[in-house]
Homo-oligomer: A and B are copies of this chain.
Amino acid sequence: MTCMHTIRRKFFLIGVTLIIFLVLLKVMKSISDPRTFGPAAVMSDLMSASLGQDTVSSITEHHHSFGPLRRPNVTCEGAELAKQFAPEDKLDDIIERRTHEFNQHQLRMKTNEEIIIATANSPLQYPTSFTVAPLQKSLIPGLALQTQGRCETTIKREAYKVSLSVKSGVLSVEKVLDGQQVDGRGQSELNISSSSLAQLNDLLSRVTYTSTIYRVKAEDLVHFSYDDHKAIFPLMIRRPSVPVLLDPGKDINSQVTIITKTFLRYKELNTLIQSIRKFYPNIKIIVADDSLKPEHVSGNNIEHYIMPPAQGWFAGRNLALSQLTTKYFLWVDDDFLFLKETRIESFVEIMEAVPELDVLGGDVSDDQFHFTLEYDEGDEEGGCLKRIKGGFHQRLSGYDRCVLVDGVINYFLARTEAIRRIGFDPLLKRVGHTEFFIDALGKLLVASCKGLSIGHQTHRAQTEYDSYRTQGKLEEKRKLAHHFFKNYLNYIKY
Protein backbone atom coordinates (compact mmCIF):
# COMPACT_ATOMS: atom_id res chain seq x y z
CA MET A 1 0.00 0.00 0.00
CA THR A 2 2.80 2.36 0.79
CA CYS A 3 5.70 2.49 -1.58
CA MET A 4 6.51 -0.88 -3.03
CA HIS A 5 9.97 -1.73 -4.00
CA THR A 6 9.07 -3.08 -7.31
CA ILE A 7 11.75 -3.81 -9.79
CA ARG A 8 10.18 -1.21 -12.06
CA ARG A 9 10.52 1.54 -9.49
CA LYS A 10 14.09 0.50 -8.72
CA PHE A 11 14.98 0.63 -12.36
CA PHE A 12 13.29 3.96 -12.66
CA LEU A 13 15.32 5.42 -9.81
CA ILE A 14 18.53 4.07 -11.28
CA GLY A 15 17.58 5.48 -14.65
CA VAL A 16 16.71 8.90 -13.32
CA THR A 17 19.73 9.26 -11.10
CA LEU A 18 22.04 8.12 -13.84
CA ILE A 19 21.11 11.11 -15.94
CA ILE A 20 24.45 12.72 -15.83
CA PHE A 21 24.37 15.93 -17.63
CA LEU A 22 28.09 16.52 -17.49
CA VAL A 23 30.38 17.41 -20.33
CA LEU A 24 33.88 18.54 -19.63
CA LEU A 25 35.12 21.02 -22.17
CA LYS A 26 36.90 18.79 -24.74
CA VAL A 27 39.95 20.57 -25.95
CA MET A 28 40.47 18.20 -28.84
CA LYS A 29 36.91 18.62 -29.93
CA SER A 30 37.18 22.39 -29.90
CA ILE A 31 40.42 22.29 -31.87
CA SER A 32 38.85 20.32 -34.71
CA ASP A 33 35.62 22.23 -34.62
CA PRO A 34 36.21 25.67 -33.21
CA ARG A 35 32.64 26.81 -33.45
CA THR A 36 31.06 24.56 -30.86
CA PHE A 37 28.85 27.35 -29.69
CA GLY A 38 25.46 27.12 -28.14
CA PRO A 39 24.57 25.21 -25.04
CA ALA A 40 24.90 21.61 -26.17
CA ALA A 41 24.53 19.41 -23.17
CA VAL A 42 25.96 16.09 -24.06
CA MET A 43 24.14 13.32 -22.29
CA SER A 44 25.53 10.00 -21.27
CA ASP A 45 23.04 7.61 -22.67
CA LEU A 46 22.13 5.77 -19.56
CA MET A 47 18.43 5.62 -20.03
CA SER A 48 17.66 2.10 -18.96
CA ALA A 49 14.58 2.74 -16.93
CA SER A 50 11.25 1.48 -18.15
CA LEU A 51 8.97 3.28 -15.79
CA GLY A 52 8.96 6.93 -16.40
CA GLN A 53 10.23 6.20 -19.86
CA ASP A 54 7.95 8.82 -21.24
CA THR A 55 9.33 11.39 -18.89
CA VAL A 56 12.89 10.37 -19.60
CA SER A 57 12.42 10.30 -23.33
CA SER A 58 10.73 13.66 -23.31
CA ILE A 59 13.91 15.05 -21.78
CA THR A 60 16.02 13.32 -24.41
CA GLU A 61 13.77 14.57 -27.18
CA HIS A 62 14.07 18.14 -26.17
CA HIS A 63 17.80 18.12 -25.58
CA HIS A 64 18.39 19.22 -29.09
CA SER A 65 16.40 22.34 -28.56
CA PHE A 66 18.29 23.45 -25.46
CA GLY A 67 19.32 27.02 -25.54
CA PRO A 68 18.00 30.08 -27.30
CA LEU A 69 15.22 29.32 -29.72
CA ARG A 70 16.39 29.78 -33.29
CA ARG A 71 17.65 33.36 -33.10
CA PRO A 72 16.00 35.64 -35.61
CA ASN A 73 18.29 34.93 -38.53
CA VAL A 74 20.66 37.76 -39.23
CA THR A 75 20.21 38.01 -42.99
CA CYS A 76 23.67 37.02 -44.13
CA GLU A 77 22.74 36.81 -47.74
CA GLY A 78 23.26 40.06 -49.52
CA ALA A 79 25.84 41.24 -47.03
CA GLU A 80 29.43 41.82 -48.13
CA LEU A 81 31.46 38.67 -48.23
CA ALA A 82 34.59 39.76 -46.44
CA LYS A 83 36.61 36.81 -47.75
CA GLN A 84 36.32 38.18 -51.25
CA PHE A 85 38.48 41.04 -50.23
CA ALA A 86 41.30 39.06 -48.70
CA PRO A 87 44.25 38.66 -51.08
CA GLU A 88 43.58 35.44 -53.05
CA ASP A 89 47.06 34.01 -53.02
CA LYS A 90 47.37 34.33 -49.28
CA LEU A 91 43.90 33.10 -48.35
CA ASP A 92 44.83 29.63 -47.09
CA ASP A 93 47.57 30.99 -44.87
CA ILE A 94 45.26 33.66 -43.53
CA ILE A 95 42.49 31.19 -42.77
CA GLU A 96 44.95 28.86 -41.05
CA ARG A 97 46.34 31.63 -38.88
CA ARG A 98 42.85 32.93 -38.14
CA THR A 99 41.66 29.51 -36.97
CA HIS A 100 44.76 29.15 -34.81
CA GLU A 101 44.26 32.58 -33.23
CA PHE A 102 40.60 31.85 -32.67
CA ASN A 103 41.37 28.57 -30.91
CA GLN A 104 43.87 30.34 -28.65
CA HIS A 105 41.21 32.99 -27.99
CA GLN A 106 38.70 30.30 -26.99
CA LEU A 107 41.22 28.66 -24.70
CA ARG A 108 41.98 31.96 -23.01
CA MET A 109 38.30 32.91 -22.68
CA LYS A 110 37.55 29.47 -21.19
CA THR A 111 33.99 29.62 -22.48
CA ASN A 112 32.17 26.66 -21.04
CA GLU A 113 28.78 26.33 -22.64
CA GLU A 114 27.91 22.96 -21.10
CA ILE A 115 24.87 22.68 -18.88
CA ILE A 116 24.79 20.64 -15.68
CA ILE A 117 21.37 19.33 -14.67
CA ALA A 118 20.68 18.74 -10.99
CA THR A 119 19.06 15.31 -10.88
CA ALA A 120 15.89 14.77 -8.91
CA ASN A 121 15.54 12.44 -5.96
CA SER A 122 19.25 12.26 -5.29
CA PRO A 123 20.34 11.77 -1.68
CA LEU A 124 23.28 14.06 -2.40
CA GLN A 125 23.36 17.66 -1.25
CA TYR A 126 26.02 19.99 -2.68
CA PRO A 127 26.74 23.58 -3.74
CA THR A 128 25.81 24.26 -7.38
CA SER A 129 28.88 26.44 -7.78
CA PHE A 130 31.72 27.59 -5.56
CA THR A 131 34.68 29.96 -5.95
CA VAL A 132 38.16 29.39 -4.54
CA ALA A 133 41.52 31.13 -4.80
CA PRO A 134 44.33 29.29 -6.62
CA LEU A 135 46.64 27.05 -4.57
CA GLN A 136 44.68 27.80 -1.39
CA LYS A 137 42.82 25.30 0.76
CA SER A 138 39.10 26.05 0.95
CA LEU A 139 36.27 24.31 2.74
CA ILE A 140 33.61 23.13 0.30
CA PRO A 141 30.25 24.16 1.74
CA GLY A 142 27.02 22.24 1.84
CA LEU A 143 28.13 18.68 1.13
CA ALA A 144 25.89 16.08 2.70
CA LEU A 145 24.26 12.72 2.24
CA GLN A 146 20.57 12.60 3.09
CA THR A 147 19.47 9.02 2.97
CA GLN A 148 16.83 9.29 5.67
CA GLY A 149 13.28 9.16 4.53
CA ARG A 150 14.17 7.55 1.22
CA CYS A 151 12.25 4.41 0.36
CA GLU A 152 15.23 2.09 0.12
CA THR A 153 16.66 2.93 3.50
CA THR A 154 14.64 0.50 5.52
CA ILE A 155 17.52 -1.78 4.72
CA LYS A 156 19.90 -0.56 7.37
CA ARG A 157 23.31 0.07 5.97
CA GLU A 158 26.44 -1.41 7.40
CA ALA A 159 28.40 1.53 6.12
CA TYR A 160 27.72 4.69 4.21
CA LYS A 161 30.35 5.44 1.61
CA VAL A 162 30.75 8.51 -0.58
CA SER A 163 33.35 9.47 -3.16
CA LEU A 164 34.54 12.85 -4.37
CA SER A 165 36.91 13.47 -7.23
CA VAL A 166 38.44 16.50 -8.97
CA LYS A 167 40.88 17.11 -11.83
CA SER A 168 42.96 20.23 -11.21
CA GLY A 169 43.36 20.01 -7.47
CA VAL A 170 43.39 17.80 -4.37
CA LEU A 171 40.81 17.04 -1.74
CA SER A 172 41.13 16.47 1.95
CA VAL A 173 39.21 16.46 5.22
CA GLU A 174 40.03 18.70 8.14
CA LYS A 175 40.55 17.28 11.59
CA VAL A 176 40.08 13.61 10.94
CA LEU A 177 40.07 11.59 14.12
CA ASP A 178 41.59 8.19 14.62
CA GLY A 179 39.42 5.39 13.36
CA GLN A 180 37.53 7.56 10.92
CA GLN A 181 37.66 6.08 7.46
CA VAL A 182 38.90 8.74 5.10
CA ASP A 183 40.85 7.53 2.13
CA GLY A 184 42.78 9.71 -0.33
CA ARG A 185 43.48 12.83 1.70
CA GLY A 186 45.67 15.15 -0.34
CA GLN A 187 44.77 13.39 -3.56
CA SER A 188 42.34 13.98 -6.39
CA GLU A 189 40.00 11.24 -5.27
CA LEU A 190 38.56 11.08 -1.78
CA ASN A 191 36.53 8.30 -0.22
CA ILE A 192 34.71 8.69 3.08
CA SER A 193 33.12 5.81 4.93
CA SER A 194 31.18 5.56 8.14
CA SER A 195 28.68 3.27 9.83
CA SER A 196 27.00 6.38 11.16
CA LEU A 197 25.28 8.73 8.75
CA ALA A 198 25.72 11.57 11.20
CA GLN A 199 29.44 11.01 11.37
CA LEU A 200 29.70 10.77 7.60
CA ASN A 201 27.98 14.13 7.25
CA ASP A 202 30.21 15.57 9.90
CA LEU A 203 33.24 14.53 7.87
CA LEU A 204 31.61 15.83 4.67
CA SER A 205 31.21 19.23 6.31
CA ARG A 206 34.98 19.38 6.60
CA VAL A 207 35.97 18.49 3.06
CA THR A 208 38.53 20.86 1.58
CA TYR A 209 39.77 21.55 -1.94
CA THR A 210 43.13 22.98 -2.97
CA SER A 211 43.83 23.78 -6.63
CA THR A 212 47.23 22.52 -7.72
CA ILE A 213 47.84 24.49 -10.90
CA TYR A 214 48.41 28.21 -10.48
CA ARG A 215 46.07 30.18 -12.72
CA VAL A 216 44.28 33.50 -12.24
CA LYS A 217 41.11 32.14 -13.83
CA ALA A 218 40.29 28.45 -14.20
CA GLU A 219 37.65 25.88 -13.42
CA ASP A 220 37.54 22.39 -11.95
CA LEU A 221 34.64 19.96 -11.68
CA VAL A 222 33.77 18.00 -8.56
CA HIS A 223 32.23 14.57 -9.00
CA PHE A 224 30.33 13.57 -5.89
CA SER A 225 28.86 10.07 -5.69
CA TYR A 226 27.04 7.63 -3.45
CA ASP A 227 26.01 4.23 -4.75
CA ASP A 228 24.60 4.87 -8.20
CA HIS A 229 23.89 8.48 -7.46
CA LYS A 230 26.16 11.12 -8.95
CA ALA A 231 26.30 14.87 -8.70
CA ILE A 232 28.62 17.27 -10.45
CA PHE A 233 29.37 20.89 -9.68
CA PRO A 234 31.97 23.41 -10.88
CA LEU A 235 34.63 25.01 -8.74
CA MET A 236 35.65 28.42 -10.07
CA ILE A 237 39.30 29.20 -9.43
CA ARG A 238 39.82 32.96 -9.23
CA ARG A 239 42.74 35.02 -8.00
CA PRO A 240 41.20 38.04 -6.22
CA SER A 241 42.05 41.34 -7.85
CA VAL A 242 42.63 44.83 -6.48
CA PRO A 243 40.04 47.50 -7.30
CA VAL A 244 41.08 50.22 -9.75
CA LEU A 245 39.04 53.36 -9.09
CA LEU A 246 39.35 56.82 -10.64
CA ASP A 247 38.74 59.77 -8.33
CA PRO A 248 36.10 62.05 -9.85
CA GLY A 249 37.07 64.90 -7.58
CA LYS A 250 34.66 67.70 -6.89
CA ASP A 251 33.71 69.38 -10.14
CA ILE A 252 33.37 68.96 -13.87
CA ASN A 253 37.07 69.71 -14.43
CA SER A 254 38.15 66.80 -12.24
CA GLN A 255 35.47 64.49 -13.63
CA VAL A 256 35.86 64.99 -17.38
CA THR A 257 38.62 65.51 -19.94
CA ILE A 258 37.75 66.56 -23.50
CA ILE A 259 39.69 64.58 -26.11
CA THR A 260 40.02 64.88 -29.85
CA LYS A 261 42.23 64.01 -32.81
CA THR A 262 43.28 66.46 -35.45
CA PHE A 263 44.90 66.27 -38.92
CA LEU A 264 45.56 69.21 -41.22
CA ARG A 265 42.75 71.25 -39.58
CA TYR A 266 44.34 73.70 -37.18
CA LYS A 267 41.78 76.35 -38.10
CA GLU A 268 38.90 74.11 -37.10
CA LEU A 269 40.76 72.82 -34.05
CA ASN A 270 41.41 76.31 -32.73
CA THR A 271 37.80 77.32 -33.33
CA LEU A 272 36.70 74.26 -31.36
CA ILE A 273 39.08 75.08 -28.50
CA GLN A 274 37.91 78.67 -28.31
CA SER A 275 34.29 77.52 -28.18
CA ILE A 276 35.12 75.10 -25.35
CA ARG A 277 36.95 77.75 -23.38
CA LYS A 278 33.95 80.09 -23.60
CA PHE A 279 31.97 77.74 -21.37
CA TYR A 280 34.65 75.61 -19.72
CA PRO A 281 37.68 77.83 -19.10
CA ASN A 282 39.64 75.21 -17.14
CA ILE A 283 38.68 71.79 -18.39
CA LYS A 284 41.59 69.73 -19.69
CA ILE A 285 41.74 69.16 -23.45
CA ILE A 286 43.89 66.40 -24.97
CA VAL A 287 44.75 66.69 -28.67
CA ALA A 288 46.35 63.84 -30.66
CA ASP A 289 47.88 65.35 -33.78
CA ASP A 290 49.27 63.52 -36.82
CA SER A 291 49.36 66.53 -39.13
CA LEU A 292 52.05 66.43 -41.81
CA LYS A 293 53.71 69.59 -40.48
CA PRO A 294 52.82 69.90 -36.77
CA GLU A 295 52.08 73.37 -35.44
CA HIS A 296 52.08 74.56 -31.89
CA VAL A 297 48.69 74.35 -30.17
CA SER A 298 48.69 76.82 -27.33
CA GLY A 299 46.45 77.40 -24.38
CA ASN A 300 45.95 76.73 -20.72
CA ASN A 301 45.47 73.07 -19.77
CA ILE A 302 45.85 71.69 -23.27
CA GLU A 303 47.94 68.57 -23.79
CA HIS A 304 49.18 68.31 -27.35
CA TYR A 305 50.65 65.02 -28.61
CA ILE A 306 52.56 64.86 -31.87
CA MET A 307 52.39 61.64 -33.85
CA PRO A 308 54.28 60.44 -36.89
CA PRO A 309 52.68 62.22 -39.88
CA ALA A 310 49.40 60.68 -41.09
CA GLN A 311 49.79 57.89 -38.58
CA GLY A 312 46.04 57.47 -38.55
CA TRP A 313 42.59 58.21 -37.22
CA PHE A 314 42.06 55.42 -34.68
CA ALA A 315 45.75 55.47 -33.70
CA GLY A 316 45.18 59.10 -32.68
CA ARG A 317 41.98 58.27 -30.84
CA ASN A 318 43.74 55.49 -28.95
CA LEU A 319 46.60 57.81 -28.09
CA ALA A 320 44.31 60.45 -26.60
CA LEU A 321 42.48 57.70 -24.68
CA SER A 322 45.77 56.45 -23.24
CA GLN A 323 46.55 59.82 -21.64
CA LEU A 324 43.36 60.23 -19.62
CA THR A 325 43.51 60.68 -15.86
CA THR A 326 39.84 61.50 -15.26
CA LYS A 327 36.96 59.11 -14.59
CA TYR A 328 35.10 60.24 -17.72
CA PHE A 329 36.04 61.73 -21.06
CA LEU A 330 34.07 63.58 -23.70
CA TRP A 331 34.93 62.70 -27.29
CA VAL A 332 34.61 65.48 -29.85
CA ASP A 333 35.74 65.69 -33.48
CA ASP A 334 38.10 68.60 -34.22
CA ASP A 335 35.44 70.44 -36.22
CA PHE A 336 32.69 70.49 -33.60
CA LEU A 337 31.55 73.64 -31.88
CA PHE A 338 30.45 74.15 -28.29
CA LEU A 339 27.14 76.01 -28.10
CA LYS A 340 25.32 77.65 -25.22
CA GLU A 341 23.25 74.51 -24.78
CA THR A 342 26.31 72.22 -24.80
CA ARG A 343 26.35 70.98 -21.22
CA ILE A 344 28.82 68.29 -20.15
CA GLU A 345 27.20 68.12 -16.68
CA SER A 346 24.04 66.65 -18.23
CA PHE A 347 26.00 63.68 -19.48
CA VAL A 348 27.68 63.16 -16.12
CA GLU A 349 24.37 63.28 -14.24
CA ILE A 350 23.00 60.36 -16.25
CA MET A 351 26.23 58.33 -16.06
CA GLU A 352 26.40 58.78 -12.30
CA ALA A 353 22.77 57.75 -11.91
CA VAL A 354 23.18 54.65 -14.09
CA PRO A 355 26.58 53.19 -13.10
CA GLU A 356 26.22 50.28 -15.52
CA LEU A 357 26.36 52.67 -18.48
CA ASP A 358 29.69 52.93 -20.29
CA VAL A 359 28.98 55.25 -23.23
CA LEU A 360 26.43 58.05 -23.53
CA GLY A 361 25.96 59.64 -26.94
CA GLY A 362 24.43 63.01 -27.74
CA ASP A 363 23.60 64.77 -31.00
CA VAL A 364 25.69 66.86 -33.40
CA SER A 365 23.64 69.70 -34.93
CA ASP A 366 20.48 67.73 -34.11
CA ASP A 367 21.81 64.58 -35.74
CA GLN A 368 21.38 61.94 -33.04
CA PHE A 369 22.81 59.08 -35.06
CA HIS A 370 22.71 55.73 -33.28
CA PHE A 371 22.52 52.11 -34.39
CA THR A 372 22.29 48.50 -33.27
CA LEU A 373 24.32 45.55 -34.50
CA GLU A 374 22.89 42.14 -35.28
CA TYR A 375 25.53 39.52 -34.78
CA ASP A 376 25.41 35.82 -35.51
CA GLU A 377 28.43 33.73 -34.51
CA GLY A 378 27.99 31.69 -37.67
CA ASP A 379 30.18 28.67 -38.23
CA GLU A 380 33.89 27.96 -38.71
CA GLU A 381 33.85 30.18 -41.80
CA GLY A 382 33.07 33.17 -39.64
CA GLY A 383 30.29 35.24 -38.18
CA CYS A 384 27.79 37.60 -39.68
CA LEU A 385 27.34 41.23 -38.66
CA LYS A 386 24.72 43.72 -39.75
CA ARG A 387 24.29 47.33 -38.71
CA ILE A 388 20.79 48.69 -38.23
CA LYS A 389 20.89 52.47 -38.53
CA GLY A 390 18.53 54.16 -36.11
CA GLY A 391 18.01 50.87 -34.28
CA PHE A 392 17.73 50.64 -30.50
CA HIS A 393 17.07 47.89 -27.95
CA GLN A 394 14.92 49.62 -25.40
CA ARG A 395 14.27 52.94 -23.68
CA LEU A 396 16.58 53.56 -20.76
CA SER A 397 14.51 53.01 -17.63
CA GLY A 398 13.77 56.37 -15.98
CA TYR A 399 15.05 58.37 -18.95
CA ASP A 400 12.37 58.82 -21.62
CA ARG A 401 14.70 60.72 -23.88
CA CYS A 402 17.31 57.96 -23.90
CA VAL A 403 17.59 54.61 -25.64
CA LEU A 404 19.94 51.66 -25.23
CA VAL A 405 21.84 50.98 -28.44
CA ASP A 406 25.08 49.42 -29.73
CA GLY A 407 26.67 52.51 -31.27
CA VAL A 408 26.37 56.29 -31.21
CA ILE A 409 27.56 59.39 -33.05
CA ASN A 410 31.07 60.73 -32.43
CA TYR A 411 29.95 62.99 -29.62
CA PHE A 412 29.77 61.02 -26.39
CA LEU A 413 30.78 60.89 -22.76
CA ALA A 414 32.33 57.63 -21.69
CA ARG A 415 33.82 55.87 -18.71
CA THR A 416 37.60 55.93 -19.19
CA GLU A 417 38.29 52.55 -17.60
CA ALA A 418 35.67 50.81 -19.74
CA ILE A 419 36.65 52.27 -23.10
CA ARG A 420 40.33 51.57 -22.39
CA ARG A 421 39.43 47.91 -22.04
CA ILE A 422 38.24 47.97 -25.64
CA GLY A 423 40.52 50.55 -27.24
CA PHE A 424 40.54 52.07 -30.70
CA ASP A 425 42.25 49.81 -33.26
CA PRO A 426 45.37 51.65 -34.55
CA LEU A 427 45.16 49.73 -37.83
CA LEU A 428 42.18 51.85 -38.89
CA LYS A 429 43.99 54.73 -40.50
CA ARG A 430 41.61 56.60 -42.76
CA VAL A 431 38.06 55.73 -41.88
CA GLY A 432 36.39 54.16 -38.93
CA HIS A 433 33.46 54.62 -36.61
CA THR A 434 31.30 51.50 -36.30
CA GLU A 435 34.43 49.39 -35.83
CA PHE A 436 34.93 50.55 -32.27
CA PHE A 437 31.40 49.52 -31.43
CA ILE A 438 31.90 46.14 -33.10
CA ASP A 439 34.89 45.48 -30.82
CA ALA A 440 32.78 46.74 -27.89
CA LEU A 441 29.73 44.56 -28.61
CA GLY A 442 28.62 42.63 -25.55
CA LYS A 443 31.25 44.40 -23.44
CA LEU A 444 29.96 47.97 -23.15
CA LEU A 445 26.51 49.29 -22.29
CA VAL A 446 25.77 52.14 -24.71
CA ALA A 447 22.97 54.70 -24.64
CA SER A 448 21.94 57.67 -26.77
CA CYS A 449 19.93 60.62 -25.45
CA LYS A 450 18.03 63.54 -26.94
CA GLY A 451 19.00 66.96 -25.69
CA LEU A 452 22.75 66.52 -25.29
CA SER A 453 23.75 68.78 -28.12
CA ILE A 454 26.85 70.16 -29.72
CA GLY A 455 27.31 72.18 -32.89
CA HIS A 456 29.28 71.46 -36.04
CA GLN A 457 31.49 73.93 -37.89
CA THR A 458 30.63 74.56 -41.52
CA HIS A 459 32.52 72.13 -43.72
CA ARG A 460 35.48 73.75 -45.41
CA ALA A 461 36.66 72.09 -48.62
CA GLN A 462 40.32 71.14 -48.28
CA THR A 463 41.97 69.17 -51.06
CA GLU A 464 44.79 67.67 -49.02
CA TYR A 465 42.60 66.71 -46.04
CA ASP A 466 39.82 65.37 -48.23
CA SER A 467 42.25 63.24 -50.21
CA TYR A 468 43.36 61.53 -47.01
CA ARG A 469 39.80 61.04 -45.84
CA THR A 470 38.66 59.26 -48.96
CA GLN A 471 39.26 55.57 -48.89
CA GLY A 472 40.52 54.12 -52.14
CA LYS A 473 39.51 50.70 -53.48
CA LEU A 474 42.73 49.18 -52.18
CA GLU A 475 42.17 50.66 -48.73
CA GLU A 476 38.62 49.34 -48.75
CA LYS A 477 39.84 45.82 -49.56
CA ARG A 478 42.49 45.99 -46.85
CA LYS A 479 39.95 47.06 -44.30
CA LEU A 480 37.51 44.26 -45.08
CA ALA A 481 40.35 41.73 -45.04
CA HIS A 482 41.28 43.14 -41.65
CA HIS A 483 37.79 42.54 -40.28
CA PHE A 484 37.69 39.08 -41.82
CA PHE A 485 40.60 38.16 -39.58
CA LYS A 486 40.26 40.37 -36.55
CA ASN A 487 36.56 39.87 -35.90
CA TYR A 488 36.35 36.36 -37.42
CA LEU A 489 33.67 37.57 -39.80
CA ASN A 490 32.34 36.15 -42.98
CA TYR A 491 29.87 38.95 -43.64
CA ILE A 492 29.62 42.59 -42.64
CA LYS A 493 26.75 44.77 -43.75
CA TYR A 494 26.98 48.41 -42.74
A323 touches B375 (CB 8 A): no
**Residue A118 lies at the interface, judged by CB distance under 8 Å to chain B:** yes
B308 touches A319 (CB 8 A): no
B393 touches A138 (CB 8 A): no
B128 touches A233 (CB 8 A): yes
- Interface set, chain A 109-140, CB cutoff 8 A to B: 113, 115-139
B315 touches A308 (CB 8 A): no
**Residue A270 lies at the interface, judged by CB distance under 8 Å to chain B:** no
A144 touches B55 (CB 8 A): yes
Proximity string of chain A (51-89) to chain B, C-beta cutoff 8 Å, 1 when within and 0 when not: 110110011011101111101000000000000000000
| Given contact pairs A125-B120, A127-B117, A154-B1, A149 touches B13 in the complex (Cβ within 8 A) | yes
| Given contact pairs A52-B146, A67-B141, A355-B107, A214 touches B394 in the complex (Cβ within 8 A) | yes
Given the complex, which residues of B lie within 8 Å of A134, measured CB to CB? 393
A426 touches B323 (CB 8 A): yes
Question: How many residues in A have their beta carbons less than 8 Å from beta carbons of B?
Answer: 146
User: Which residue of chain B is the closest to A109 with respect to CB atoms?
Assistant: B243
Nearest Cβ on chain B to A75's Cβ, whole angstroms: 17
Given the complex, which residues of B lie within 8 Å of A137, measured CB to CB? 68-69
Proximity string of chain A (480-492) to chain B, C-beta cutoff 8 Å, 1 when within and 0 when not: 0000011111000
Nearest Cβ on chain B to A12's Cβ, whole angstroms: 5
Docked CA distance A116–B125 (Å): 11
Given the complex, which residues of B lie within 8 Å of A462, measured CB to CB? none
B151 touches A3 (CB 8 A): yes
One of A186-194, A299-307, A330-338 at the interface = A299-307
A9 touches B149 (CB 8 A): yes
Given the complex, which residues of B lie within 8 Å of A246, measured CB to CB? 101, 486
Given the complex, which residues of B lie within 8 Å of A41, measured CB to CB? 141-142
Docked CA distance A121–B13 (Å): 12
**Residue A385 lies at the interface, judged by CB distance under 8 Å to chain B:** yes
- Interface set, chain A 213-229, CB cutoff 8 A to B: 213-216
B442 touches A238 (CB 8 A): yes
**Residue A265 lies at the interface, judged by CB distance under 8 Å to chain B:** no
Q: Return the contact of A397 from the options B105, B136, B139, B213 (Cβ within 8 A).
A: B213
Given the complex, which residues of B lie within 8 Å of A321, measured CB to CB? 322
Given the complex, which residues of B lie within 8 Å of A410, measured CB to CB? none
Proximity string of chain A (27-62) to chain B, C-beta cutoff 8 Å, 1 when within and 0 when not: 000000000000101000000000110110011011
| Additional 18 contacts, C-beta under 8 A, given A69-B139, A242-B383 | A2-B2, A2-B5, A3-B154, A55-B198, A62-B139, A62-B205, A98-B245, A101-B246, A101-B327, A118-B118, A120-B144, A128-B233, A242-B487, A315-B322, A318-B323, A319-B319, A321-B322, A420-B420
Interchain residue pairs A-B with the least CB separation, the first 5: A241-B442, A120-B146, A322-B322, A66-B141, A306-B306
Can you name 12 A-B residue pairings with CB atoms under 8 Å? Answer: A98-B245, A120-B122, A120-B146, A135-B393, A241-B443, A242-B383, A243-B383, A243-B488, A244-B486, A319-B323, A323-B426, A324-B426
